[in-house]
Amino acid sequence: MIHEYFTAKEIATAIQELGFQAKIVDDDNRLTIESASSGKKWTVALHGVDPFFNSMFLRIIIWVPKDPLEWANKWNSSNCSSMAHAVTLDDESAPTPDDDGDYMIMISSNYEFAGGVTTPFLQNAFLQWMTAVEELSEFDDIKICAARSSHLS
């Protein structure tokens, strides 16, 4: 069946059917879904009018110890399905390090449902995303929020 809208539960179920956890979080009437793969936590931000969402934004936050623009450019030059960008703190015009001297980077992928998509399309999008998250394991110098258990037994 083709859908232009999905509920948070339907999107969470698509993740769970792949064998991964998916927790719906209501933070001040903004629904997100928290999940993890390769031991790394990531989030699905839902866009639209609850309960019917017309797009999703997958994201993971990492911290790098050196030039975040160079790191993001390197990632973006070799990853088509996701985009990295340096995050500025307090509306600064340039990235600034946190108290540990690390720079925040958000890696994300956006999926619109306009025109209609299927549940298998969603699952394929999540599998592509999980491949990108897995690639982060190749970098020794980044920090990522670790997940306790990302895959269901």
Q: What is the pLDDT of residue 150?
A: 39
Domain limits, the chain? 8-61+106-144
Q: State the amino acid at position 87 in one-letter form.
A: V
Q: What is the pLDDT of residue 67?
A: 93
Q: Per-10-residue mean pLDDT for the chain, 153 residues long?
A: 96 97 92 94 95 96 94 93 88 84 94 96 96 91 68 35
Q: What is the pLDDT of residue 29?
A: 83
Counting other chains too, the contacts that 113-117 makes at CB distance below 8 Å and 24 or more residues apart are: 113/3, 113/4, 113/5, 113/6, 113/53, 113/54, 113/55, 113/56, 114/4, 114/54, 114/55, 115/4, 116/2, 116/3, 116/4, 117/2, 117/3, 117/4
pTM metric for this prediction:
0.89
Q: What is the pLDDT of residue 147?
A: 58
